[in-house]
Structure 1
Amino acid sequence: MSLDLPPVAPSVTAELVQGLTPRLRKRLDAGIAKLAGRPSVRDGDTVRIAVDDDTHLELHAPGGIVTGAEAIRCGCLLAPDCLHRAAAASAAPIADPDSTSDPGSGSIPDAADAPLSVDPASTRPAAEPEAATPEQCAAAQAMYGAAAAVLEAGTDGAGAVLQAELLRAAHTARISGLPRGAASAVSVVTQLRAARGVDPAYRLTDLAAALREVLGTAHRLPRSTGPELAALRGTSRQPYVPDGSLRLYGLFSEPVLTATGYAGAVTWTVDAQGRLHTLSDVAPGGSGRAVGAADRAVRIGDTALTHRELSRAGLAVSGATVSPTGRLGAGAGVRAVRASGATWHEAPLDRLWTPPVAEQVSRALTGGDGLLFLDVTLTGTVREAAGDCLLADCEGLALRLAAAHDHPALPYRDNLRLLAATPGTRLRVVARLEPSAVPRALLLATDHPRDPGAHLDLGLDRLQHADLPAPAMPPAGPPAVLDEAPLHLLRRRVHQAASAGRRVLAFPGDSAADGRRLSRYGLACAGDLLDELHAAAADRSRDVFGRLVPADVNRFARAWLAAAHYTEEVDRALCAAAWGADPAPPPSL
């Protein structure tokens, strides 16, 4: 999309698409494509698009977001129920209703990707467990139906009309008190738009994960009670509680560039007790903002430190407020001044590398921040489908360290390529666990190869050849081929369905061989799920006149959800086994 449009609230898009006649709905996707090639001009809070020589379309966005249908005006004869208004809303980024009103952090959280906090009041013992309200059950059912329709159609068939239905369900879920489901539904729509727009940042795994989240949340919510219900509802804003005075030490900074249209930087800090805290500057934007945010001043107190500087310095904070996930608030009563920092080999930062690796992995798999603090020795490279990654020895484990982000504007990939040329180098690193059947993590930061008192943020700093020591050992040979459990046979079908819809699994074929192979590896349940997925996709009955009746969308959605949930949990168990950690208990579905 070449137009620079302001974000539009999901309810506005849903309202405008619903107001179209059936004939105009069929033309909506073509209208969006046509609108993308028209010239536009931004004048303050207003964007004007020249639909043709005589017709102009205006989007008025006070505060940067279009919050009402009346803010999109068109001069054509069919207005206000014209195709142009709905096309503009469908082409614009999706606004987060809470994105401009988070006084605690001054940042925009991505509720679909971050762990959701639970309201402490909802976890107090009660005489009778709280259940979902009728309105919430109805909202969950609508959300499930809209997501099932998207899964049925696949990315090619899930055009603006199906997206608007899911946005309507997301709006209903939000006003019913289900922010977690609403955020997940919006994430699905964002991923669909990225797929249909051939966005290089699109990942099929992200779409499948978003669909699994929205379907799983909607499926479980009507039958949940107590703390489980509170977790499924989620919270629209994380509560911030006073935490007195904090002495913080910068740990590292990482750029943020999401497929949902947000960009910026997050700086991780550690207090004197070894607890992790974050300060973030994330807002709607692209790769330019992700690169530039590191040189913006940290928004806390009166400090002039940038994120890049804070990752190597310290802060003394008074009147601090902290969310349950460790995010620092930036309220009016918070004061902060610059203080001295510490290296990774000095207290209190060095405590992070003390726990055994298996213990860190267990914590990451049970809903922690996902960070791993490792001492490694580089041994070479290994080629994967997504590109080369580093091989390293970590307490006897053959660890794979991959780039945290593939966008060319971020230097992750270039830095890994340089580090790969120095086998034998001993490094202290910060990485994020990536569940896999082999020990694998995304490399975020590392201490300097020549200066142990300094560190490099691999998403922001660029290594130079002069920074590298001479190789201490010859490159290792190719890693041994692992005899892995063939879970990919099921995962591939899950991803195919998310991309191409039900019909891609309904084609005649022999899936029995895949089922037998899964059974030989002790994955009989995976074989049964694969058979049911194919059966649900091909299930088409006929009426008394021999005509095909509509497919059972709900049966296929249930089969797909079961298969997706199973592969996720098996991946977690295999990841724990690869690291020698205790597997996390799976949540009930």
Structure 2
Amino acid sequence: MNAAPLPPVAPEVTATLVEHLSPRLRKRLDAAVTKLGARPAHRDGDTVTIVVDDETELRLHAPGGVVATVDDVVCGCLLAPACVHRAAAACAAPTAVPAPELADQPTRAVPEPASATDSAPPPDSVSSPEVASPAQRAAADALWSAGAAVLEAGVDGAGAVAQSALLRAAHTARLRHLPRAAGAALSVVTLLRAARAGDPSYRTADLVTALAELLGTAHRVGTAYGAELAAVRGRARRPYSPDGSLRLYGLFTEPVVTDSGHGGVRTWVATSEGRLCTVGDVAPGGAGRALGVADRAVRLGDSALTHRELGRAGLAVSGATVSPDGRLGAGKGVRAVSARGAAWTEQPLASLWETPPSEQAVRALRSTSRYADPDGGGSDLLFLDVELLGAVRESGGACLLARCEGDFPVRLAVADDNPALAHRDNLMLLATAPGTRLRIIGRLVPAPHPRLILLACSHPTGEGTIDLGLDRLRRADLPDPAAPVYPAPPQPGGTGAHSPLYLLERRVEQTVPAGRAALGMLGDVTTEARRIRRAGLPTAAGLLTALVTSAARRDRDLFGRLLPVDTDGFATSWLTAARYTAAVAESLCAAAWEPTREGPAAAPPAPDQWPERAMAKTVQG
């Protein structure tokens, strides 16, 4: 195995190296990637050297941490630069993407520059709604074709060549000012590589979401206009707009550790009107950096408060700038001084817990939706008063069960299993104290039952608050030293427990690892479609039939020869089914938090009460 991690490689570099290979070498590329990944490597400054064999070395030069040009990948073999080693190294290395926080430095909201290849609108269309340029539509079509090819082949067939096509399309889309679609394509490539490498953190559901986001965004570029087009295009840099003077009250600080190797913290604050904002510091470094940054000064004006201190104190800010999703800018004109904070039981923070849980869940769903507008704003946090019941066993491990106000159960899951962080230890310790009443802050998890990721809570003694990812509880802090582990309670007997919608969901997921051909071999699905239709879901039944029929369809010409498969038609059927199942999942999640008339045990509505027409409209949008 490589002793030193390979530096990130720019998407256009990987695509160019693969495109320059001969057809014979392209067939050997996947094997070369696997072989090269097992060779030893070492780092010397900005250069990583891979020992290909006893006589050959390959060097990746990454000034600034990223391999930015083709000339930065140098191989010493006799066939270089036309060898397979350079392309294999680029495919084995991670794809360079902007850091989550560092790429979002405060900037003034200015119009995006027009591409030199974009055609100008005709003079008589000045008052007409803005539409995508021909160059943008061409870039979106290339993304659609590359995404449809991945869906056609499945994970096993989407090797380095298919990934390079996605990287080339992503690079072109970014040049045409389509950063949202380009980012979705890079996410698909990252997940494909994780799936093919057997990464234990890979989940098929994540790749389903990424592929649906890629195909859906690429499709909408050609049909959207005006404000919708702006949302579909996305933004390469987050805009910050002036917000005057703000009085901020700290809520809590959470560690941030990403799969791309970045680490840091995000501190949540609230304005005097109850609006939520964040101050972040994330950079390459992982969990170790997250723990260290928590005790560094906040990058906001002249404030000397650390992130931990800001989570419990206050700030008075003048010249503030805020992004649409609530991130506070740290421009030169921002001034900030320390001020008194507020307890969670004092105003204005106490008002956050006064909103009914059902309303909070609906608001959070707008930002946690799989296909939500990245610039839509909003928060996915919920503020609840709960009574702890104990730990419950689940298929994925144990979680903490609590009773929310209104007497319905809520499952509290671990935010991050990284042993360097305190999430897991704190949650398991809280599970040993049933009957304890706490005020908590959690992140909504879309599920057919109430479920949160626990982030912060009031101290069990009633004094202060606990940042569950950074602070560590002690057994002496809890009133009860031990408690039994309870079996998981039965799920509500509504739609989420008995709906046969999973028959459609599993076909959508099966397509991603196996490809269209495997789905086409299922044969007749009339029985499954009839079962779904009897449950009151005719739209789902029709989508299942259309998906399988499209996968199995192979037309012939007049001479009986098989015609090429209709990859676009199959991709359209799959995308429609994926968006529909996501809409139903969000509907079930909202219904799970809705109290009933008899009591608060929120059961989802019966199948015959589902607003299928509204869901179909949501899917088409």
The answer to whether the 8 A contact 1:163-1:189 is kept is: yes
Q: Identify the range of structure 1 (161-170 vs 323-332) with the bigger mean alpha-carbon deviation.
A: 323-332
Identity %: 59
1:294-320 Cα shifts (integer Å, max 9, x gaps): 344433334444323322233333332
Count of matched residue positions in the alignment of Structure 1 and Structure 2: 576
Q: Which runs of structure 2 are paired with 1:549-560 in the superposition (5 Å)?
A: 549-560=563-574
> What are the superposed Cα offsets for residues 115-145 of structure 1, whole Å, 9 maximum, x if unpaired?
xx998999xx983111111111111111011
Q: For residues 362-416 of structure 1, give each alpha carbon's deviation from its aligned partner in whole angstroms, at most 9, with x where no partner exists.
A: 2112332111111111223433332222222222322222222344443323322
Does structure 2 conserve the Cα–Cα contact (< 8 Å) formed by 1:250 and 1:311?
Answer: yes
Question: Per the alignment, in what secondary structure is the counterpart of residue 55 of structure 2?
Answer: coil
1:383-532 counterparts in 2 under 5 A?
Answer: 383-394=393-404, 395-450=406-461, 452-470=462-480, 478-483=488-493, 484=497, 485-532=499-546
When the two chains are superposed, the root-mean-square deviation of aligned CA atoms in Å is 2.9
Instruction: Output the amino acid matched with 1:434.
Output: V
In 2, the alpha carbon distance for the partners of 1:520 and 1:269 equals: 49
- How far did residue 99 of structure 1 move? 6.9
CA distance in 1, matches of 2:273, 2:342: 14
Residue in 1 that maps onto 2:28? 27
Q: Give 1:2-401 correspondences, 5 Å limit.
A: 2=2, 3-96=4-97, 102=103, 104=105, 127-367=127-367, 368-394=378-404, 395-401=406-412
Matched-pair contact (CA < 8 Å) for 2:184–2:214: yes
Q: C-alpha distance in 2, partners of 1:286/1:475?
A: 33
AA of the residue aligned to 2:161: V
SS in 2 for 1:148: helix
CA contact (8 A) 1:118 1:235 kept: no
Q: Please tell me whether the aligned partners of residues 118 and 230 of structure 1 are also in contact (alpha carbons under 8 angstroms).
A: no
| Aligned CA distance change for structure 1 residues 237 and 194 (closer, same or farther; 3 Å) | same
Alpha-carbon separation, structure 2, partners of 1:201 and 1:21: 34
Task: Using the TM superposition, name which of 519-528 and 139-148 deviates more.
Answer: 519-528
Moved more, 173-182 or 68-77: 68-77
Shift of 1:428: 0.8
Per-residue displacement from partner, 1:476-525 (whole Å, max 9, x unpaired)? 77423433222222111211212222233122455333222211211111
Q: CA deviation at 1:285?
A: 4.3
Deviations 1:84-112 (A, max 9, x none): 22122112221125879747259xxxxxx
1:404/1:218 Cα in 2 relative to 1: closer, same or farther (>3 Å)? same
Is residue 522–residue 548 contact of structure 2 (8 Å, CA) maintained in 1?
Answer: no
**Residues 385, 492 of structure 1: alpha-carbon distance in 2 compared, 3 angstrom cutoff:** farther
The letter of the residue matching 1:39 is: P
**How far apart are the structure 2 equivalents of 1:382 and 1:179?**
42
The TM-score, its normalising length taken from structure 1, stands at: 0.90
Tell me the distance in 2 between the aligned counterparts of 1:177 and 1:185: 14
Alignment CA distance shift 1:255-1:580 (3 Å): same
Contact 2:580–2:619 (Cα < 8 Å) also in 1: no
Contact 1:313 1:341 in 2 (8 A): yes
Cα displacement string for residues 60-105 of structure 1 (whole angstroms, at most 9, x for unaligned residues): 2222222211222222222222212212211222112587974725
Three-state SS of the structure 1 residue aligned to 2:433 is: coil
SS in 2 for 1:492: helix
Give the SS at the match of 1:4: coil
Q: TM-score w.r.t. structure 2 length? A: 0.86
Give the superposition deviation at 1:544: 5.9
Cα contact 1:94–1:186 (8 A) shared by 2: yes
1:561 counterpart residue number: 575
CA contact (8 A) 2:429 2:475 kept: yes
Q: Gapped runs of 5+ residues in structure 2?
A: 115-124, 368-377, 596-603, 605-610
Letter in 2 for 1:241: S
Could you tell me how far apart the structure 2 residues matched to 1:235 and 1:554 are? Answer: 27
CA distance in structure 1 between the aligned counterparts of 2:111 and 2:492, rounded to whole angstroms:
44
Aligned partners of 2:100 and 2:420: how far apart in 1?
Answer: 25
Deviates more, 1:58-67 or 1:411-420: 411-420
Partner Cα separation in structure 1 for residue 62 and residue 135 of structure 2: 31
State the Cα distance separating 1:449 from its structure 2 match: 1.4
Alignment correspondent of 1:533: 547
Cα displacement (A) at 1:287: 3.8
